[in-house]
């Protein structure tokens, strides 16, 4: 193995105390929905101590940040992205507390060891992945334009990469009816709740007529009120997903028609608000191969083929602007589902702590290969352009 890469990984091991304690601190103080004040403060404070130029509050988001290190002029610009939001009222059941320390461990090692060629490191802290998708706001604000490639890590039941993710669209539907006494004068009322329930049923009938990979789920956002009043307001959210954005857009159109039809049947009106949409990931075969080579070389556990079943992420939106990939690192038992108690149980144990170090080593090794490898970045950019062309 390259002696510089060995030195990178050795320095990461030496930093394990501060990396683990930072992750544990974030785990113990779960925050969400753009309010990740404690986590952002911890991570930016550590980056400042390590000599990075740090900006907090970028992209109009108080808990988003950017940290940079430039070694000489020219060379590739490597983006290292991290999330640190928890699941609302549940905690770190997706392992996001592991990401920031892993990214910082990788960036610090590269900064200290790789001193013989030009490059730039840009660390992006991206809040609210589990809710409104902070990366979307950051893209709209013009961020990420200063990097050539975007790298992430994420805990999971296997060490692997992604070749896809589900595109996601979400509609918030508010039905407006007319209240009345439910016993004395129900005929004078128009039930917004009836419309919402009709919409739910309409979607159930739609399931037979969509592609197999489409996922449709919904919930009641606000409770309509006591049962002796015809509800005049009912609010539901509708989450729609597919591996194909084109197929998903057709499903979204049909669901909007169902919502309109449900309102018509109940004699009420409906207003619809589109929440931020997540794009599907573009596969990066060459970059994924480099990630897995480094995973094997550093001895990461649970090596497996790319994931077949995935969720949705705002990282997909970033990957429609530039090449990138996410290294999945094993820290929970095989078969464990994200957003589960198992993720909470292992978030601070030896498996969780080891995932930070493996993630840092894989990211550092991959970034090292991108900076030092002849023509490697060009091949990764070619993969990206081919995938974009397929979607045109």
pLDDT exceeds cutoff 80 at 158: yes
| Helices 16-28 + 99-113 axis angle, to 10 | 160
pLDDT exceeds cutoff 80 at 341: yes
Kindly report, residue by residue over 252-270, the tens digit of the pLDDT.
999 999 999 999 999 999 9
Task: Look at residue 239 in the predicted model and tell me its pLDDT.
Answer: 98
Task: Enumerate the H helices of the chain as residue ranges.
Answer: 3-14, 16-28, 37-49, 99-113, 134-140, 192-206, 245-266, 285-297, 315-318, 341-345, 350-372, 376-390
Q: Where in the chain is the domain with CATH 3.30.70.360?
A: 165-276
For residues 154, 155, 156, 159, the Cα torsion angle rounded to the nearest 10 degrees is 80
229 pairs with which residues across the strands?
181
pLDDT exceeds cutoff 90 at 302: yes
Task: Look at residue 127 in the predicted model and tell me its pLDDT.
Answer: 99
Phi, psi of 53 (to 5 degrees): -80, 120
pLDDT exceeds cutoff 70 at 325: yes
When pLDDT is averaged across residues 289-300 and rounded to a whole number, the result is 98
CATH 3.30.70.360 fits 165-276, yes or no: yes
Kindly report, residue by residue over 103-142, the tens digit of the pLDDT.
999 999 999 999 999 999 999 999 999 999 999 999 999 9
Task: Return the residue matching tokens 């352009």.
Answer: 385
pLDDT exceeds cutoff 90 at 144: yes
Task: Look at residue 1 in the predicted model and tell me its pLDDT.
Answer: 66
What pTM does this model have? 0.92
Kindly report, residue by residue over 10-49, the tens digit of the pLDDT.
999 999 999 999 999 999 999 999 999 999 999 999 999 9
Kindly report, residue by residue over 168-226, the tens digit of the pLDDT.
999 999 999 999 999 999 999 999 999 999 999 999 999 999 999 999 999 999 888 89
Within 100-243, strands assigned E span 119-125, 149-156, 160-161, 167-176, 215-222, 233-242
User: What number of residues does the chain have?
Assistant: 392
Task: Look at residue 15 in the predicted model and tell me its pLDDT.
Answer: 98
Question: What is the percentage of the chain residues whose pLDDT exceeds 90?
Answer: 96
175 pairs with which residues across the strands?
234, 270
pLDDT exceeds cutoff 90 at 283: yes
Confidence label for 309 from pLDDT (cuts 50, 70 and 90) = confident
- CATH superfamily, domain 1-163+280-388, is Zn peptidases (3.40.630.10)
- The one-character DSSP state at 180 is -
pLDDT exceeds cutoff 80 at 392: no
Q: Where in the chain is the domain with CATH 3.40.630.10?
A: 1-163+280-388
Task: Look at residue 174 in the predicted model and tell me its pLDDT.
Answer: 98
Kindly report, residue by residue over 352-362, the tens digit of the pLDDT.
999 999 999 99
């Amino acid at each position: 193995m390259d002696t510089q890469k060995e030195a990178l990984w050795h320095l990461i091991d030496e930093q394990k105390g501060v990396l683990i304690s930072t992750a544990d601190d974030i785990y113990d103080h779960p925050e969400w929905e753009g309010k990740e004040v404690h986590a952002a403060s911890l991570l930016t404070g550590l980056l400042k101590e390590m000599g990075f130029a740090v900006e907090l509050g970028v992209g109009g988001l108080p808990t988003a940040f950017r940290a940079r290190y430039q070694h000489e002029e020219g060379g590739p610009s490597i983006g290292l992205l991290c999330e640190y939001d928890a699941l609302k009222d549940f905690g770190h059941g997706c392992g996001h507390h592991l990401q920031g320390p892993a990214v910082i461990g990788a960036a610090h090692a590269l900064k200290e060891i790789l001193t013989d060629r030009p490059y730039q490191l840009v660390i992006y802290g991206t809040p609210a992945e589990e809710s409104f998708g902070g990366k979307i706001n950051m893209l709209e604000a013009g961020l990420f334009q200063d990097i050539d490639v975007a790298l992430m890590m994420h805990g999971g039941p296997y060490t692997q990469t992604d070749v896809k993710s589900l595109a996601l669209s979400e509609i918030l539907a508010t039905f407006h009816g007319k209240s009345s006494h439910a016993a004395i004068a129900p005929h004078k009322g128009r039930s917004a709740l009836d419309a919402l329930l009709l919409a739910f049923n309409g979607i159930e009938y739609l399931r037979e007529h969509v592609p197999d990979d489409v996922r449709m789920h919904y919930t009641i956002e606000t409770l309509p009120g006591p049962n002796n009043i015809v509800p005049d307001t009912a609010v539901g959210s509708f989450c729609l997903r597919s591996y194909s954005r084109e197929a998903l857009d057709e499903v979204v159109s049909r669901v909007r028609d169902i919502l309109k039809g449900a309102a018509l049947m109940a004699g009420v009106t409906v207003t619809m608000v589109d929440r931020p949409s997540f794009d599907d990931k573009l596969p990066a075969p060459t970059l994924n191969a480099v990630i897995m080579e480094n995973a094997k070389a550093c001895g990461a556990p649970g090596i497996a083929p790319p994931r077949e079943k995935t969720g949705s992420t705002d990282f997909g939106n970033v990957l429609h602007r530039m090449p990138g990939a996410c290294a999945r690192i094993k820290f929970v038992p095989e078969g464990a589902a994200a957003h589960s108690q198992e993720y909470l149980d292992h978030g601070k144990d030896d498996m969780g702590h080891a995932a930070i170090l493996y993630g840092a080593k894989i990211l550092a090794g991959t970034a090292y290969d991108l900076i030092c490898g002849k023509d490697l970045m060009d091949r990764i950019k070619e993969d990206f352009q081919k995938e974009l062309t397929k979607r045109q």
